[in-house]
């Protein structure tokens, strides 16, 4: 039997100062998002669901997205790239992106 190797090319998402990257991390207990300027190699700001007051799950992720949008507007950022970090675009990750859009940021 011959074994075939599957090669997958990972897309590169690169954030700039005009359009930074929103990188998402999911743990068992919380959802984290950090906004990164890859040109400068710096994290502009980061937020997690631990900072949000909402108790129920879907509202927590929407509120986190709105919190990110508020921080971005304070830094005069209107467009962002969404880096889902390999997670499927559904559930928590999709709700976070919807919350960022509701906050007025274009993804």
Q: H helices within the chain, ranges in order?
A: 57-74, 92-102
Spell out the residues 6+ positions from residue 1 whose beta carbon is closer than 8 angstroms to its own.
none
Dihedral of CA 81/99/30/40: which sign? positive
pLDDT tens profile 14-67: 888 899 999 999 999 999 999 999 999 999 999 999 999 988 889 999 999 999
| pLDDT score of 7 | 42
Domain 21-102 has CATH 3.40.80.10: no
Token pair listed for 47:
């937020």
pTM: 0.85
């Amino acid at each position: 039997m011959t074994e075939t190797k599957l090669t997958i090319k990972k897309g590169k998402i690169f954030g700039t100062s005009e359009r930074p990257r929103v990188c998402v991390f999911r743990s068992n207990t919380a959802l984290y998002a950090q906004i990164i300027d890859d040109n400068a190699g710096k994290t502009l700001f980061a937020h997690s669901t631990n900072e949000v007051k909402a108790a129920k799950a879907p509202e927590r992720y929407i509120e986190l997205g709105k919190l990110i949008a508020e921080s971005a507007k304070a830094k005069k950022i209107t467009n962002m790239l969404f880096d889902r970090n390999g997670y499927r675009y559904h559930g928590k990750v999709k709700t976070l992106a919807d919350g960022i859009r509701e906050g007025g940021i274009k993804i």
